[in-house]
Amino acid sequence: IHFILLFSRQGKLRLQKWYTTLPDKEKKKIVREIVQIILARNQKTSSFIDWKDLKLVYKRYASLYFCCAIEDQDNELLTLEVVHRYVELLDRYFGNVCELDIIFNFEKAYFILDEFIIGGEVQDTSKRSAVKAIEDSDMLQETVEEYMNKPAF
């Protein structure tokens, strides 16, 4: 996977994860372009788009579009499953996840994604383990008191 984008129906970006190195301006351009392309598609079309030398796989869940860019030899149908699994993980963590959860807890959404995918490849196929790791990590996070008192370095 080269990159993952989450954006709303109005085209507002909710999450972007890039697994390749690109200049900032380039990234913005790409995001604009892709958001435009996907928002223009109607319901009847397939979930796959040929774009430059990559394939875009996108799916809409309620008000959010999830879009992955994969290479030629990657399996598109499986990527749909990957996206679905990520949504399931979010759901499991937040409990009936909705767009607002992702907006207000974007850092958590990133943490979950990073627990599921590294370097563009899936790390764990178990539904439980990713969420468990995040919950454990959350426990590790210091409480406000601990945080204030602990020395930084």
Partner 1 sequence: MPAPIRLRELIRTIRTARTQAEEREMIQKECAAIRSSFREEDNTYRCRNVAKLLYMHMLGYPAHFGQLECLKLIASQKFTDKRIGYLGAMLLLDERQDVHLLMTNCIKNDLNHSTQYVQGLALCTLGCMGSSEMCRDLAGEVEKLLKTSNSYLRKKAALCAVHVIRKVPELMEMFLPATKNLLNEKNHGVLHTSVVLLTEMCERSPDMLAHFRKVCLVPQLVRILKNLIMSGYSPEHDVSGISDPFLQVRILRLLRILGRNDDDSSEAMNDILAQVATNTETSKNVGNAILYETVLTIMDIKSESGLRVLAINILGRFLLNNDKNIRYVALTSLLKTVQTDHNAVQRHRSTIVDCLKDLDVSIKRRAMELSFALVNGNNVRGMMKELLYFLDSCEPEFKADCASGIFLAAEKYAPSKRWHIDTIMRVLTTAGSYVRDDAVPNLIQLITNSVEMHAYTVQRLYKAILGDYSQQPLVQVASWCIGEYGDLLVSGQCEEEEPIQVTEDEVLDILESVLISNMSASVTRGYALTAIMKLSTRFTCTVNRIKKVVSIYGSSIDVELQQRAVEYNALFKKYDHMRPALLERMPVMEKVTTNGPTEIVQTNGETEPAVLETKPPHSGMQPGNQANDLLDLLGGSDITPVIPTAPTSKPASAGGELLDLLGDLNLTGSPVSAPAPQISQPPFLLDGLPSQPLFNDIAAGIPSITAYNKNGLKIDFTFERSNTNPSVTVITIQASNSTELDMTDFVFQAAVPKTFQLQLLSPSSSVIPAFNSGTITQVIKVLNPQKQQLRMRIKLTYNHKGSAMQDLAEVNNFPPQSWQ
5, 19 in Cβ contact below 8 A? Answer: no
Q: Which are the contacts of 127, defined by CB distance < 8 A and separation ≥ 6?
A: 85, 88, 89, 92
Q: How far is the CB of 61 from partner 1 (least distance, A)?
A: 15
Q: Kindly tell me which of 96 and 144 has the beta carbon lying closer to partner 1.
A: 144
Q: Kindly tell me which of 95 and 153 has the beta carbon lying closer to partner 1.
A: 153
Q: How far is the CB of 39 from partner 1 (least distance, A)?
A: 15
Q: Kindly tell me which of 21 and 96 has the beta carbon lying closer to partner 1.
A: 21
Report the b/e string of 104-124 with b at 16+ CB within 10 A: ebeebbebbbebbbeebeeee
Residues found near partner 1 in the complex (CB under 8 A): 13-19, 21-23, 28, 44-50, 73, 75-78, 80-82, 85, 103-104, 106-107, 110-111, 114-115, 118-119, 121-129, 133, 136-137, 140-142, 147-148, 150-153
39, 20 in Cβ contact below 8 A? Answer: no
Q: How far is the CB of 96 from partner 1 (least distance, A)?
A: 19
Q: How far is the CB of 120 from partner 1 (least distance, A)?
A: 8
Q: What is the DSSP letter of 59?
A: E
Please state, in angstroms and rounded to a whole number, the distance separating the CA atoms of residues 16 and 40. 20
